[in-house]
Structure 1
Amino acid sequence: MAATITHITCQRLTFSWPDGTPVLDGLDLAVGPGRTGLIGLNGSGKSTLLRLIAGELTPSAGVVRVAGEVGHLPQHLTLDTGRRVDDVLGIARTRAALHAIEAGDTDERHFAAVGEDWDVEERTRATLEQLGLAHIGLDRTVGEVSGGEGVLLRLAALLLRRPEVLLLDEPTNNLDVDARQRLYAAVSAWRGVLVVVSHDRELLERVDHIADLREGTVRWFGGTLSAYEEALAVEQGAAERMVRVAEADVRRQKRELIEAHDKLAGRARMAKKAFENKKEPRAVMRARKRTAQESAGKHRILHEERLEKARERLTEAEGAVRDDDEIRVDLPFTAVPPRRRVLTLTDAELRRGARATLQLRGPERVALVGPNGAGKTTLLRTVAGELAARSGEVVAHVPLRHLPQRLDILDESLSVLDNVRALAPGADPQQTRARLARFLFRKDRPDQLVGGLSGGERFRASLAALMLADPAPQLLLLDEPTNNLDLASVRQLTSALASYRGALLVASHDLPFLRGLGIDRWLRLDGELTESEPL
């Protein structure tokens, strides 16, 4: 890596989409050497910021300066399946020239193409081995590798370029457990400037700093995700105490204002009675009345100003408390008695050729793990009745619902409320609104069209539609549910599933999320479905 200090600087960075939707407005950011975890709510602009730094987008205003070459691994990676592996890795021209020289062709162009990179193949194979891709031949095509391997290939290409600045956007999405471990090792070994956008807790435990992008501003925290959460908990605890103090002050100022009004009203009654009794000259009485009125007005204004200032302090204190509410839902109709049969697979052959035998009983929570391409999604779709097994038997003994990776179960032209009612047509609309509030769709939010929802809102709407369906699902099938969710949404999902009383079958590579669900059994699919040790 270069000996000079590399860095990223953004000044007054502003960006809006062509339709006018604002994303960033006057953002200032400075990133130095080390590994930075960039976190924030869905829709806060993290991916857009990386694309601006990489030069893939042009800011509406402001400047981006980067010292050093930039390598960018985007969140949604599309590779031409017809390209060869060496072409994706960026070594095809150098490799072809090297082979021509080895074959006896001394054309000067070949030597110019190789330059000083005579060990390009050895260096490439070492990088591929580091990422668990040693089995992939350089002459193969991208169409012959899995999606997860494609992500690692693109990362290998970046590592071979040795950029001074590396930008990774949700790099562990679609990676199986083994591939994630290799990516963690690559990140831990990185020297230089690295910015990673991720919700992967294990990955964020390997960074040096956390940058929290929230409401258009970045706040920095030293250390890993755990250190950030500890610091934030202390900060939020203090903020909540300030809210309680401010609320008490508002109540006190209201009480004192009422008491002042009562006292002044009593004085006014006494003055009126004295005036009527004419115990003093009329001019004296009028002067005293004017003085009393002026004094009362000043007194009232003083208390009203105190109350207004107390309200301002309360608003300021409330603004410091984060509104990352948790989903809390009590769904008694989803309950499954212990030992009741929920799902039976008897020597079922899936379309990908894998075979599965399984008995799922009671409110079991089962994790489904295995390498990419093993057929986990196919298994869930087969259980859901979306695909037919080639042979064997698949029987669901209870009502079930399936949440696919793509979250494509909702009608985008309908509102959140109408989508939920489509799966529970007999439900009372007001009762449905009350239940949606528990999924954080409050006030008029249930009336918003699904097509206009953010990623996190779309996920909550999909989850609500499934969990509030009629009949109530006593078996939930979840396929990589934390992909593309921010950390707050993952916490919301975990809290929602904590109150779910049915059985769960969850395919995921996100081990911290699975552990947080209280998994009862671990199953591994890799040709055959087998019991696995807890991961």
Structure 2
Amino acid sequence: MGSDSNTANNDNNVADDTIHNLATFTTSAPCQYHRGNALAIYGLSLMHDGGRVLFQTADCTLPHGSITGVVGTNGCGKTTFAQLLASKSLDGFPVTDLMVEYLAAADDEDGHLDEETSLFASQLPREYVLSRLQERLNQLRSSIEKIEQTMEKTDAEELLEAMAEELSDLYDVEDSMRKSIERDTDLAMESIGLNAYGHKPLDNLSCGWRYKCRLVAAVLKHPDCLIIDEPSFLDTNSTDWLMEQLRHLARSENAIVVLISHKEVLLDALCDRIIHINSANQKLSTFHCGYSIFRKTLEAEIQHTTKLLDCTHDRLESADKSLKTIQAMCKRRETNFHKTTERNADKRFIKGKNKEAKQKADRSAASKLQKAQQAVKDAEDIKHKAKRERVKPLHIEGIPAEGTIVSLEMVGMKFDGIGTDDEWVFQNVDASLEFNDRVLLQGSNGCGKSTLAKLILGELNPTEGSVKRSTQNIVYFPQTALYQLLRLHGHETAMEYLASAKTMTMMETRHHLGDFGLAKDLALHPIKTLSAGQRVRLWLSRELLLHPKPSLLILDETSENMDVETRKSLVDMLKSYGAAVLAISHDSDFCLSFSKNITKTWRLSRHGLDVNYQE
């Protein structure tokens, strides 16, 4: 049964028109849901804005008690798929039976953070989390009362039994939440470091800390189905807490957990099933295994189909030649038949024999033609299966400055002008950046890494000490870049966004975007429809128009939400980049790859900066 409407009552902060604005979909049959077992979706086809097909006629099952990872390259449709699930728009979706909580990516809110900040601006982190959990308790109480009212009007024994079971489950969740709501909130805040910012209202927190508040609230709501889209801004302690909570939610509370992520460490540690969306052949596939086995299986499949494709290349050429030969032969026989029968028009015996010979030849030709056509079809099928997503390599040219480009001497920073020691973000920072340095800056959330980057850039002045720089040719990718890009330019196209930076012809603009992997229709799509990785490319493309061939790249959490291939491309680009790099990251996959080519590691704390030189 097809559907392209979003009529469900939505209580998960996903706007009712999200799917209308961004995608259309069809299904071959209604969803089937077996409470406590699984949600099954049949024949789902998903098309993005403008009719671009994301995947076609896919069946997938989301079981309770399991953590399903959704993976694929940037732009393949992972977020659109998640939004579709959260909207409860699919025909047959268990709107009342399945409480779905969707946590959007930190940089993909499309105004939601602004709305949330205005609603909860004055609340402290703990107050905010508790208020969101109270909303969940109110929903539970409302559901309980509706079931109780329905049971009073129902005589059917089988239906009463089912409702009694559901009611019992809801009572258990409500009772558990009421008893542990404050304790669980306090433990979560301590585990992910929110207590250090407990005195600051929500609108004074960074995007990263606001995201953590939302993450805690989403997990502690104890939903039937939790969908987390690209968990971000997580240091080691936060990651450990999240993994423990998701395992408990799936295994102990029998919830459906869907994790959309490019973080291989997280996927490998948590997921027991993988849904892979291949944008090259518009196919959604389910792998009943963990992430590492999935990667090996996928690579083996690609190698196998590529081998088959090589083997059938000659067969394809041969089949194509056979088709042309058979078609030419049939045409000659038809011509000869007419000539012969015309010359022997009065000789019925010869005419009959010629007709019989023609029919026999036609049957033989038809058989050969059918085989040749099947060979072509088989080869084309293999070619389609062997398609894999290609990511355009990133390439940035830099011109190194001379000698020391940045020098920090006894730098200290504090905000609000309060003179107590507790208000210092950091002190006693002594360091330098040389013309060819590749530096990895690390430290716990909130220790001041982004603040230090802004001091180096010149956007902030230190409270004490001095910062000297010998170049202004710096490209800076701030932690909030993608959020600001969506908030300020989400409805613009990539072409329009680039045109605002520099006067160029349409051909020059398209060529520049193409150099950053934003070719063809991507250049004409609204920025809000681009994936995180594509928006990173767009941001860099514009900055490099304004600051060509920079002497210093400052990248603050740039690899967050990048797919594996784009992240690898970023690391490869930094390896060959001809000037200085300062990279800030908590992404363990990026750090592991980038650290093989660094000259220094900086570790920042409130008391100073530890510098380790790499051999």
Alignment-derived partner of residue 199 in structure 1: 262
Alignment-derived partner of residue 524 in structure 2: 448
The reply to whether residue 237 of structure 1 matches residue 303 of structure 2 is yes
Give a deviation string over 1:444-470, Cα, whole Å, max 9, x none.
447536647512433333334456777
Counterparts of 2:225 and 2:196, CA distance in 1: 28
Counterparts of 1:150 and 1:225, CA distance in 2: 29
The reply to whether residue 344 of structure 1 matches residue 406 of structure 2 is yes
Change over 3 Å in CA distance of 1:300–1:237 after alignment to 2: same
Q: Where does 1:29-68 land on structure 2 (aligned, <5 Å)?
A: 29-51=61-83, 53-54=85-86, 57-59=87-89, 61-64=91-94
Q: Is the 8 A contact 2:70 2:275 kept in 1?
A: yes
**Which ranges of structure 2 fall in alignment gaps of 5 or more residues?**
1-33, 107-112, 135-173, 416-424
**Which ranges of structure 1 fall in alignment gaps of 5 or more residues?**
95-112
Change over 3 Å in CA distance of 1:74–1:66 after alignment to 2: farther
Tell me the matched-pair count. Answer: 499
The Cα shift of 1:477 comes to 1.9
Counterparts of 1:50 and 1:522, CA distance in 2: 37
The reply to whether residue 90 of structure 1 matches residue 130 of structure 2 is yes
Counterparts of 1:403 and 1:219, CA distance in 2: 35
Q: Is the 8 A contact 1:201 1:512 kept in 2?
A: yes
Q: Is the 8 A contact 1:246 1:311 kept in 2?
A: no
Counterparts of 1:179 and 1:115, CA distance in 2: 24
Corresponding letter in the other structure for 2:580: A
Q: Where does 1:129-140 land on structure 2 (aligned, <5 Å)?
A: 129-133=190-194
Alignment-derived partner of residue 226 in structure 2: 166
The reply to whether residue 530 of structure 1 matches residue 530 of structure 2 is no
Q: Where does 1:77-476 land on structure 2 (aligned, <5 Å)?
A: 78=116, 80-90=120-130, 121-122=182-183, 124-133=185-194, 141-142=201-202, 147-158=207-218, 160-171=220-231, 173-190=232-249, 191=252, 192-193=254-255, 194-214=257-277, 218-256=284-322, 306-328=371-393, 333-334=397-398, 336=400, 340-341=402-403, 343-347=405-409, 354=426, 356-387=429-460, 392-397=466-471, 399-404=473-478, 405-407=480-482, 437=514, 439-442=516-519, 444-445=520-521, 448=524, 451=527, 454-455=530-531, 456-466=533-543, 471-476=548-553
Counterparts of 1:262 and 1:21, CA distance in 2: 40
Counterparts of 1:372 and 1:451, CA distance in 2: 29
TM-score (norm 1): 0.71
Report which stretch shifted further, 476-485 or 357-366: 357-366
Change over 3 Å in CA distance of 1:336–1:128 after alignment to 2: closer
Corresponding letter in the other structure for 1:505: L
The Cα shift of 1:17 comes to 9.2
3-state secondary structure, aligned to 2:123? coil
Alignment-derived partner of residue 28 in structure 2: none
The Cα shift of 1:84 comes to 4.7
The Cα shift of 1:59 comes to 0.6
The Cα shift of 1:189 comes to 4.5
RMSD: 5.1
The Cα shift of 1:522 comes to 1.8
Counterparts of 2:215 and 2:547, CA distance in 1: 45
Counterparts of 1:435 and 1:160, CA distance in 2: 45
Between Structure 1 and Structure 2, the one with more helix by share is 2
The Cα shift of 1:516 comes to 1.5
Q: Percent identity?
A: 20
Change over 3 Å in CA distance of 1:461–1:119 after alignment to 2: closer
Counterparts of 1:47 and 1:29, CA distance in 2: 17
The reply to whether residue 506 of structure 1 matches residue 552 of structure 2 is no
Counterparts of 1:23 and 1:261, CA distance in 2: 38
Counterparts of 1:482 and 1:73, CA distance in 2: 19
Report which stretch shifted further, 259-268 or 67-76: 259-268
3-state secondary structure, aligned to 1:360? strand
Give a deviation string over 1:148-172, Cα, whole Å, max 9, x none.
454444444455554454333323x
Report which stretch shifted further, 187-196 or 157-166: 157-166
Counterparts of 2:288 and 2:234, CA distance in 1: 28
Change over 3 Å in CA distance of 1:286–1:465 after alignment to 2: farther
3-state secondary structure, aligned to 1:6? coil
Counterparts of 1:53 and 1:446, CA distance in 2: 25
Corresponding letter in the other structure for 1:238: H
The Cα shift of 1:212 comes to 1.9
The Cα shift of 1:241 comes to 1.3
Q: Is the 8 A contact 1:14 1:60 kept in 2?
A: no
TM-score (norm 2): 0.64
3-state secondary structure, aligned to 1:63? coil
The Cα shift of 1:58 comes to 4.0
